[in-house]
Amino acid sequence: MRTAKQLGIATVGIYSEADTAAVHARFADEAICVGPAASTASYLNIPAIVDAIKQTGADAVHPGYGFLSENSHFVEAVEAAGATFVGPPTHAVEKMGDKVESKKIAAAAKVNTIPGWAGVTENADHAISVAREIGFPVMIKASAGGGGKATRRRVLVQGMRVAWNEKELLEGYELCTQEAASAFGDARMLIEKFIEQPRHVEIQVLGDKWGNVIYFPERECSIQRRNQKVIEEAPSPLVTPAMRRAMGEQAVALCKAVGYHSAGTVEFLANPQREFHFLEMNTRLQVEHPITEAITGQDLVEHMLRVAAGQPLTVSQDQVLHYSGSAMECRVYSENPARGFLPSIGRLLRYREPRGPGIRCDSGVQEGSEISIFYDPLISKLVVHGVDRGAALAGMRRALDSYVIRGVQHNAPLLRSVLDVPSFVAGNLSTAFLAENYATPEASAPERLPLGAGQQDQLLAVAALLWGDMELVLTLSGQQTAVVVRPAESRMVATSGINGAEHGSGQALEAEVDGQAVFLQVLQMGPRQYKLQHCGAQRVIQVDSPLSARLGCHMPVQHAEDFSKAIQSPMPGTLISVAVQPGQLVNQGDEVAVVEAMKMQNVLKANVDGVVKSVEADAGAVVAADQVIVRFE
């Protein structure tokens, strides 16, 4: 919408009843409600959207990133309504949107393809037959869906899962078909060989209606969770000029094979030996397109609008390959990494986006916005551009350190932690990165993210100065440190120049510790403690006088409630089904209930053998995070 307004084009935004107060609905020159909160009744409701086109007299429709952006029936409906679809032609959307058909076309165009069987499966038994033929592990994928490769043994994402054996394949196939039917209106499934330890590298393409197609420098999208990209960068640390040219030329060949125009992305899997194979083509603008714009100076949305208007490309192949610097994007999601990245809903009680040279933050929220259970939990796309990869990395660290989000759980702390992992700094990436470096959900929790010894000293120094001018004993992770705070020095570390700190939670602050700039956030303040965030890691620091520290060991210890014999909802959502009843004997691993949120179904299984004592929620109920659904005797 910003690009359209810069070009003098009036905009119409569509919204659901749940998005009445959404930023995009208020930013548009005109906004039309297209239905209730459920996406199938609003953002996937083609007749309602066509009515909005006719009602407003819209000349063109830009589909955005998701929902109907890769639906050929929608393209046809838009054109039948007399409007121009800002995207590729119908036949290209249809052929490239079908993973089976796209691979056949890619092979015919001499594009490197993944070895294995390609075809739509008839049912779960057929899927098992195919898996036995090509060998486990296999990827279960919705033919009409999008996404990349998995990073974990168990994957929960709409229409896509990895199966390592026949049992997981049977379970995953049923859930994938349900999710694909709900998300895409198409339950067809395909099975392909799952390639372990790949790198996800993609090529941005742009074509016009005159037969011209060019490719842009690649994007690396290997840092993923639940099949979805989390951190992207351009250019890739892996790709050489020769590899870039080979990938780009194959991407252009694929586009020409289907008569493609507008923006699109050809995705590849690459190995450390720089061999690459076609994964799929996304016939739309990608979420991560800003990093390409950052290094090339090109506005891809503007090019899409001009192509849709019938204009030839105004940029050449040579121009876009002469890029500048490096850019990174972090996708900030409202989710709980400690619970397997399950969505977190709620109101943004405090929200402050980072600002500064080279920083771009694309978001659809503001302070007070509601994160609901109905849609993707993406809060923003945080982009940083630097003169090289090192500068972009340093800029992203600072941007994430100063990004204030309160009211929901989110993944910004984990993103910040990733940026300090030595293999990431070195550019040694794979789609298994998060699973390898954060092996359990608990390891992704902000309270468990690692801090180096020097970073802990910085944390203690700032905590001491925030408290005041006195003798203190600071307790961090069970370790006591005696500190004397004076105006000019500290026995622990010399610190000065704290800016932006207030005596209240939710603040970002900047300090200088031993001459080094340090960025922290004050999350909570109590009568005897701080909860601070530094480099993504969150720590509680207890502050005592020397006397109270000596007497503290005599205080009683509080014990948390025992939920070992209960099944709790891991996230807010709708309770789809309950498979047990009071008095029923269940075994560990048996299905107990299914909770759905943001188009994802999560099967809750018994964690112990036992007899059901009570069922405390009915199917169809909306449940909160941690709400008890079933108790065992």
Write phi, then psi, for 110 (nearest 5 degrees): 65, 35
Q: Please check whether residue 561 lies inside any domain of the structure.
A: no
Token output for 571 = 């996230």
Both 485 and 618 in one domain: the answer is no
Does 312 score more than 60 pLDDT? Answer: yes
Domain boundary among 165, 193, 221: 193
Choose, from 225, 284, 331, 416, the residue flagged as catalytic: 284
Residue, of 18 and 193, whose pLDDT is higher = 18
Q: What pTM value is reported for the model?
A: 0.81
Reading across the β-sheet that carries 573-578, which strands appear in turn?
Answer: 600-605, 591-597, 573-578, 622-623
Q: Please check whether residue 105 lies inside any domain of the structure.
A: no
Both 481 and 544 in one domain: the answer is yes
Q: Please check whether residue 103 lies inside any domain of the structure.
A: no
Taking every pair of C-alpha atoms in the chain, what is the biggest distance, in angstroms? 81
- Which has the closest alpha carbon to 572: 409, 459, 353? 409
Q: Please check whether residue 542 lies inside any domain of the structure.
A: yes
Q: Please check whether residue 109 lies inside any domain of the structure.
A: no
pLDDT in tens, 445-501: 999 999 998 999 999 988 888 887 678 889 998 888 888 877 654 433 333 333 433
Q: Please check whether residue 13 lies inside any domain of the structure.
A: yes
* Beta pairing partners, 145: none
Residue, of 632 and 154, whose pLDDT is higher = 632
Number of domains in the chain: 5
Both 325 and 440 in one domain: the answer is yes
Does 203 score more than 90 pLDDT? Answer: yes
- The neighbour count for residue 170, using CB atoms within 10 Å, is 14
Both 76 and 54 in one domain: the answer is yes
Q: How far apart are CA 142 and CA 63, in angstroms?
A: 21
pLDDT in tens, 269-296: 998 889 999 999 999 999 999 999 999 9
pLDDT in tens, 76-95: 999 999 999 999 999 999 99
Q: How far apart are CA 331 and CA 361, in angstroms?
A: 10
Interior CA angle at 41 toward 79 and 84, to 5°? Answer: 15
Which pLDDT score, from 0 to 100, does residue 234 have?
98
Residue, of 608 and 469, whose pLDDT is higher = 608
Both 157 and 134 in one domain: the answer is yes
Both 508 and 575 in one domain: the answer is no
Token output for 419 = 């940026």
Both 216 and 361 in one domain: the answer is yes
Q: What is the CATH number of the domain that holds 129?
A: 3.30.1490.20
- Spatial contact of 490 and 472, defined as CB atoms under 8 Å apart: no
Both 397 and 261 in one domain: the answer is yes
Domain boundary among 175, 193, 211: 193
Both 261 and 339 in one domain: the answer is yes
Distances (CA, A) of 182 to 39, 75, 416: 9, 20, 34
Q: Cα dihedral sign for 239, 245, 246, 249?
A: positive
- Spatial contact of 470 and 547, defined as CB atoms under 8 Å apart: no
- Which has the closest alpha carbon to 391: 353, 360, 357? 357
pLDDT in tens, 142-183: 877 654 333 333 333 456 888 999 999 999 999 999 888 877
Is there a catalytic annotation at residue 161? no
Q: How far apart are CA 593 and CA 619, in angstroms?
A: 9
Q: What is the CATH number of the domain that holds 511?
A: 3.30.700.30
Task: Write out the residue range of the structural domain in which residue 208 sits.
Answer: 199-444
Q: What is the CATH number of the domain that holds 609?
A: 2.40.50.100
| DSSP-based three-state secondary structure for 32 | strand
Token output for 623 = 């449940």
Both 585 and 472 in one domain: the answer is no
Both 358 and 475 in one domain: the answer is no
pLDDT in tens, 534-577: 999 999 999 988 888 888 777 777 777 788 889 999 888 899 99
Domain boundary among 425, 444, 463: 444
Q: What is the CATH number of the domain that holds 40?
A: 3.40.50.20
Written as one letter, the residue type at 389 is R
Both 413 and 463 in one domain: the answer is no
| DSSP-based three-state secondary structure for 46 | helix
Q: What is the CATH number of the domain that holds 266?
A: 3.30.470.20
Which pLDDT score, from 0 to 100, does residue 158 have?
56
pLDDT in tens, 359-392: 999 999 999 998 988 888 899 999 999 999 999 9
Q: Please check whether residue 111 lies inside any domain of the structure.
A: no
Q: Please check whether residue 65 lies inside any domain of the structure.
A: yes
How much is the average pLDDT of 600-616? 89
3-state secondary structure 603-622: EEECCCCEEEEEECCCCCCE
